[in-house]
Structure 1
Amino acid sequence: MTNLTYDQIFSKLVKSAYDGNLSEEIDRLQQEQDEQLNQYIHYATGKGDPERVVFKVKDCGFDCGCEEDGCQVSCLLEAIERDEQGRVVINGNTCTDCGQCVDECKYGCLVDKKEFIPLVEVLKDRKVPVFGIIAPAFIGQFGPDVTPGKMRAALKKLGFYGMVEVALFADILTFREALEFDSHVHKEGDFVITSMCCPMWVSMIKRVYRKMAFHITPSVSPMIACGRGVKKLHSEAKVVFIGPCIAKKAEAKEPDVKDAVDVVITFKELKQIFEATGIQPAEMPEDEKEHSSTGGRIYARTGGVSKAVADTLKRIRPDKPIQIKAVQAHGVKACRQMLQEALEGKITANFYEGMGCVGGCIGGPHVLIDAEEGRRWVDQYGEEASSLTPADNKYVLALLKSLGFAEIEDLFNEEKSKIFSRSLNEEKSLD
């Protein structure tokens, strides 16, 4: 049994890929003829079922305690099961590849597939522009001295053509959500459920609380919106999403949105990539370009979406008699409880926001700092923005025009806004 961890194997392979001797490194590692090591290499190089993200690589024993505190308890849809011998099995029919079990497993038995290695040659070749689109939760994750400009410079040194903050497209979706609310909420008792940011929240609605579908807004996530936006402006580009979430790897493969993002890597993986290649983001020169508003930047934490949409609604529909009264839940248990209460008619708000991780994206499984520190960084970055809402952000308005939206109301036009829309109505329910 190898004494190398999955993360250590990934780091070795990243370094060898950039050094141009990946095949030789794999051959050297495989000389040990260790089945566990081969499994690690297999998934670290992006192999395995192309539609799946989470894989079991070894048995953890029969008395690991997962039923009380671990992968089985963390699973949203009870996809972690036991076979007749008591071994953990992933039920592929119900697993959504959210990655919660990977984060909870204490024995390294479950891993999420890495997608970066096959991209290295494209980055080195530089013939195809590769854009890194980075989640709003990134601020502060790589140290206090790593500004957005330095992060952009570090990604360019890796071979990326450029970096786009997903917060910029969160701004655009804030407009859409405000318009959706304005269209659907007219009296007490009306409400909408935002479907944007969190793939775990979306899976919960699609699979378990299907009867709530009538209230779901049809917006894609900021990740998908950003990926599609980049590809509309640069048709030949590849897009790599960088964030704190394993579940985003699964979201990027969903049939109705898989056109947007080619590869997903996490903050943890990016840190390993920087270390393997000797790049120190804090020492990079500044390369500033981003112009997102406060609203887009605070999407990373619980309540951020609600505040962004509420502030924007007040800005564009100040005379609307019913403004947003929001309620949020974070963590799988709290999200399920909130949806169940709404299903039972215990309506306490007119805007429902859910985040699968405690704290929101800043509490994701592959963050590099704790959630409280992450929230402080996100709030500070939000306060530094030159505009509170996208309605006051000239850069967002200019971006919309370049994407073909002459007026804000065009975001509510079914034909024009396909780039930012999806439908959850064809998904099957498990209830």
Structure 2
Amino acid sequence: MTRLTYNQIFKDLVKAAYQGNLPEEIKGLEERNDKEVDKYITYATGGGEANKVVFKIKDCKNDCGCESENCQVACLLQAIARDEYGNVVIRDKSCSHCGQCVEVCEHDCLIDKKEFIPLVDTLRDRKVPVFAIVAPAFIGQFGPDVSPGKIRAALKRLGFYGMVEVALFADILSFREALEFDSHVQKQGDFVLTSMCCPIWVSMVKKVYQRLIPHISPSVSPMVACGRGLKKLHPDAKVVFIGPCIAKKAEAKEEDVRDAVDVVITFKELKQIFEAVGIKPAELEEDDKEHSSTGGRIYARSGGVSEAVADTLKRIRPERNIHIQAVQAHGVKECRQLLQNVLDGKVEANFIEGMGCKGGCVGGPHVLIDPEQGAEKVNEYGEEANSLTAADNKYVLALLKSLGFNEIDELFDPKKAKMFVRKF
């Protein structure tokens, strides 16, 4: 009997869901009497423990053909261990569900839950508006001939009401981060850790480098800001985040921000979904509507947040004497070293940025193109924007007004700007 992979089962189930015969497809798979396949079905259809993302579905005694104990090496928080028999064990209390172990596991011993299939009926009947919000790293991921407008058209074919680039809300958060810096960095020696984008970076600070928590800027991620913003404008809507990161699935389930995003899917999963239902984005018409600035678009690569916030600060606080002096780290090893250096007083920068993947989000575990190529595409897209910062972007300013913010400084009001704030 041919062995079925997790990804193949997911694609088959997506196809069946859109064709309206999902129960029959599941029944056929279950008739194989294969416990591994049964587990694949559970997690491919969004089952399993509600607040978990990463699961072990079979034992691995390091004899599965892997070159080394890749999963243990990949884990930033030592959540992967071995029991007395040599089997892989996930320590749930330490696990951040970042998905790094899933990416290096070569034999589907460790998998991440896929959340899309339970949404298909809603997309098909179109009674509830479902918005796709796409991470800034999306540009170029689906091929050189697939523009943002064609991605939007492809998503509408799947049943989405519309697509919003998260870069628009990254622009808004550049305002908030600039205001946070303006408030907290008053003299030499003061510094802030930006917390917005990367859940892996946030997990490292919260679980390993707790002494730095007072220096974290309390802004939500652009994903959360976008989800909340859309739901404020469209209270009955559902929101689906699409990005390169498995860890975003875990972030969306965190208690204080779980109101923002209903489902998270990755670029790889979206590609599988397109293939399953026969959608070819490159062949579709343009449906282009985005108006984000350069700053919001370059959030996708390492250093982009620092640049965006620094440019925004110069624009809204030109009289400041202390400017942003940024330092960045990307990749788990670099991030850990940078945080340790900050604790040891070895860093003179006043704005600390970290991203858990090499190159930033363009190097996430579920990207479709090489990270260097991804960074080039992001920079090119940034250069195409009509404005450098959100402060110069009339569309972002209009969006803020529609959300109830008449002045930029109101984004620093703890009550009025509650939707963009979280506590650590």
Q: Provide the rounded CA distance (Å) in 2 between the counterparts of 1:392 and 1:69.
A: 50
| Equivalent residues of 1:2, 1:34 under 8 A apart | no
Q: Provide the rounded CA distance (Å) in 2 between the counterparts of 1:92 and 1:69.
A: 19
Q: Provide the rounded CA distance (Å) in 1 between the counterparts of 2:33 and 2:18.
A: 25
| Equivalent residues of 1:66, 1:73 under 8 A apart | no
| Equivalent residues of 1:70, 1:106 under 8 A apart | no
Q: Deviations over 1:171-221 (max 9, x none)?
A: 000000001111111111111000000000000011111100111100000
TM-score (norm 1): 0.97
Q: Provide the rounded CA distance (Å) in 1 between the counterparts of 2:62 and 2:378.
A: 42
Note the C-alpha offset of 1:93. 1.3
| Equivalent residues of 2:325, 2:349 under 8 A apart | yes
Matching residue of 2:293: 293
Give the AA of the match of 2:247: A
Note the C-alpha offset of 1:62. 3.6
Q: Deviations over 1:202-250 (max 9, x none)?
A: 0001111110011110000000000000000000000000000000000
Q: Deviations over 1:315-338 (max 9, x none)?
A: 111110010000000001100100
Q: Deviations over 1:229-281 (max 9, x none)?
A: 00000000000000000000000000000000000000000000000000011
Give the AA of the match of 2:57: V
Matching residue of 1:327: 327
CA change 1:264–1:21 in 2 (3 A) is: same
Is 1:362 aligned to 2:359, yes or no? Answer: no
Give the AA of the match of 1:245: C
Q: How many residues align?
A: 424
* Alignment map for 1:194-209 (pairs within 5 Å): 194-209=194-209
Q: Provide the rounded CA distance (Å) in 2 between the counterparts of 1:39 and 1:187.
A: 56
TM-score (norm 2): 0.98
After TM superposition, where is structure 1 displaced by more than 2 Å over at least 4 residues in a row?
Answer: 60-69
Q: Provide the rounded CA distance (Å) in 2 between the counterparts of 1:156 and 1:67.
A: 42
| Equivalent residues of 1:66, 1:72 under 8 A apart | no
Matching residue of 2:56: 56
Note the C-alpha offset of 1:66. 7.2
CA change 1:225–1:165 in 2 (3 A) is: same
| Equivalent residues of 2:66, 2:106 under 8 A apart | no
Q: Deviations over 1:351-391 (max 9, x none)?
A: 00000000000000000001000001000000000000000
| Equivalent residues of 2:62, 2:68 under 8 A apart | no
Q: Provide the rounded CA distance (Å) in 2 between the counterparts of 1:393 and 1:271.
A: 32
CA change 1:134–1:260 in 2 (3 A) is: same
Note the C-alpha offset of 1:63. 4.0
* Alignment map for 1:31-430 (pairs within 5 Å): 31-63=31-63, 68-424=68-424
| Equivalent residues of 2:244, 2:362 under 8 A apart | yes
Q: Provide the rounded CA distance (Å) in 2 between the counterparts of 1:184 and 1:57.
A: 47
Secondary structure class of the residue paired with 1:410: helix
Note the C-alpha offset of 1:60. 2.3
RMSD between aligned residues: 1.1
Structure 2, unmatched stretches of 5+, are none
More displaced stretch, 322-331 vs 61-70: 61-70
CA change 1:7–1:100 in 2 (3 A) is: same
Secondary structure class of the residue paired with 2:261: coil
Secondary structure class of the residue paired with 1:279: coil
Secondary structure class of the residue paired with 1:61: coil
Note the C-alpha offset of 1:61. 2.6
Secondary structure class of the residue paired with 1:264: strand
Q: Deviations over 1:40-67 (max 9, x none)?
A: 1110011000110000111223445879
Q: Provide the rounded CA distance (Å) in 2 between the counterparts of 1:242 and 1:150.
A: 15
Structure 1, unmatched stretches of 5+, are 425-431
| Equivalent residues of 1:181, 1:192 under 8 A apart | yes
Q: Provide the rounded CA distance (Å) in 1 between the counterparts of 2:228 and 2:402.
A: 13
Give the AA of the match of 2:258: K
| Equivalent residues of 1:2, 1:37 under 8 A apart | no
Secondary structure class of the residue paired with 1:72: helix
Note the C-alpha offset of 1:38. 0.6
| Equivalent residues of 2:291, 2:395 under 8 A apart | yes
